[in-house]
Amino acid sequence: MTQNTSERLREQMPVARRWAYFDHAAVAPMPQAAHDALAEWLADVVENGDVHWPRWSERLEQVRQRAAQFIGAQPAEIALVRNTTEGINLVAEGFPWQPGDNVVTLADEFPSNLYPWMQLQRLGVETRRVAVTAAKPDLSAVVAACDSRTRLVSISWVGYASGWRHDLAELCELAHGRGALLFVDAIQGLGVFPIDVQATPIDFLAADGHKWLLGPEGAGVFYLRREHLGRLRPVGVGWNSVRQGADFGRIELEFKDSAARYEGGTYNVGGLVALGASLELLAALGAEALAASVLEITDLACARLQSLGATIFSCRQGEHRSGIVSFGLPGRSPVELRKRCLAAGVALSCRGGRLRISPHAYNQPADVDRLIAVLAGAHP
């Protein structure tokens, strides 16, 4: 089944004609379906300006519906945003903080899941960064960092450098058990691993579409559980925040009764339409099949890398595996190895002084063969 999933997705990925592409944790290539959707919008605005704006507005609502279905949410719980950072800041700047409150997170989070919380020091809110000294984060230390003034725990579903994938139900239990809400930076997991926010009661979630969702940069989704709509103050308020929307002559500050109140102004229409096409493609393949394909190809890559003497730093046990594998080759420069790989048509990244591969479900054993051949030919 996973092979069938891999082949079906690969047919939609023009990048596979030239590259063994292992860099989806950085910026993913887009599938043909996303290209076609973006090209359709672009051709229309070039030829017709805003004449067909209502048609594209309807398409955006379809994207909202697809995004909601993708995570088991209601459309009213989804805001269409530019990126994960924007979603994090909607919570950081909109939450009703009081001096003495605190946020608990991990010290090795991506900067965008640190700086918005750290900036709250101006309001007397402390950001508690729990040290991570091993591949497996110590969640007992996270629990210990929480107290009666902890309002929020903010953690990435998958660590961008380590590849550690958290059990979302465990994170919910951890945060809610301490009387706090849970924010999940889902950018490194959404698109290839199943998630249901009804079964797993996450409070807030954000993810840009340009990684595992195979969308363009500048188009993403933000989720908040409906019960928090009145708690989170709208930030970046504009004409699109209010009920009357495009009725510009009616000036009444009546916010939309949905997460759309956080959208403020004009959308990145082309980007969101392309993201919608990618969401539709991935949904048709199924999250379970996509996850199985990703884990299968990363397991194969790890076995082949270890045969070269590589040290695998990412967890490869059970449900904590992800599509991110961090590794090193003793005595060899990660930067130089990456240069060799790029020159040979193999895309990967360096993070934290290590090499990082992040294959998607369409990657196949032949791609791993190309990676291994380049690394094997790079002598110390």
Task: State the CATH number of the domain containing residue 330.
Answer: 3.90.1150.10
State how far Cα 134 lies from the chain centre. 23
Identify the pLDDT of residue 377.
87
Last residue of a domain, one of 237, 265, 284: 284
Tokens of 40: 């359709």
Do residues 279 and 315 share a domain? Answer: no
Specify whether 267 is located in the same domain as 291.
Answer: no
d(CA 64, CA 55): 15
Residue 355's DSSP bridge partners are 327, 350
How many Cα atoms are found within 13 Å in the side-chain-facing hemisphere of 188? 27
Could you tell me the two tokens for 283? Answer: 């949904």
Predicted TM-score (pTM) of this structure: 0.95
Per-residue confidence at 135, pLDDT binned at 50, 70, 90? Answer: confident
Average pLDDT estimate for 189-218: 97
CA distances from 57 to 65, 240, 259, 267, 321 (A): 13, 12, 16, 9, 39
Is the domain of 141 the same as that of 194? yes
Task: Based on the fold, state whether residues 271 and 306 are members of the same structural domain.
Answer: no
Report the mean per-residue pLDDT for the chain. 96
Structurally, the chain folds into a number of domains equal to 2
Reported as a single tens digit per residue, the pLDDT across 323-357 is: 999 999 999 999 999 999 999 999 999 998 999 99
Give me the domain span that covers residue 227: 35-284
Q: Do 220 and 80 share a structural domain?
A: yes
Using the 3D structure, point to which of 231, 256, 284 is the last residue of a domain: 284
Domain shared by 113 and 48, yes or no: yes
Residues 277 and 294 in one domain: no
Output 327-336 pairs: Cβ under 8 A, ≥24 positions apart: 327/302, 327/354, 327/355, 327/356, 327/357, 328/353, 328/354, 328/355, 329/355, 329/375, 329/378, 331/380, 332/378, 332/380, 336/378
Confidence tier at 3 by pLDDT (50, 70, 90): low
Q: Average of pLDDT values for 123-143? A: 93
Q: For the segment 244-278, what is each residue's pLDDT rounded down to a tens digit?
A: 988 999 999 999 999 999 999 999 999 999 999 99
Banded model confidence at residue 380, pLDDT cuts 50, 70, 90: very low
In this structure, the answer to whether residues 142 and 220 fall within a common structural domain is yes
Q: What is the pLDDT of residues 18-68, one digit of tens each?
A: 999 999 999 999 999 999 999 999 999 999 999 999 999 999 999 999 999
In this structure, are 198 and 140 located in the same domain?
yes
> Residue 205 and residue 181: Cα distance in Å, rounded?
11
Clarify whether residues 205 and 324 are in a common domain. no
pLDDT confidence tier of residue 358, bands split at 50, 70 and 90? very high
Per cent of the chain over pLDDT 90 is: 96
Answer yes or no: is pLDDT of 2 > 60: no
CATH number at residue 143: 3.40.640.10
Do 69 and 195 reside in the same domain of the chain?
A: yes
Pair (217, 260) in one structural domain: yes
Given 284, 308, 332, which residue is the final one in a domain? 284
Q: What is the mean pLDDT of residues 115-133?
A: 97
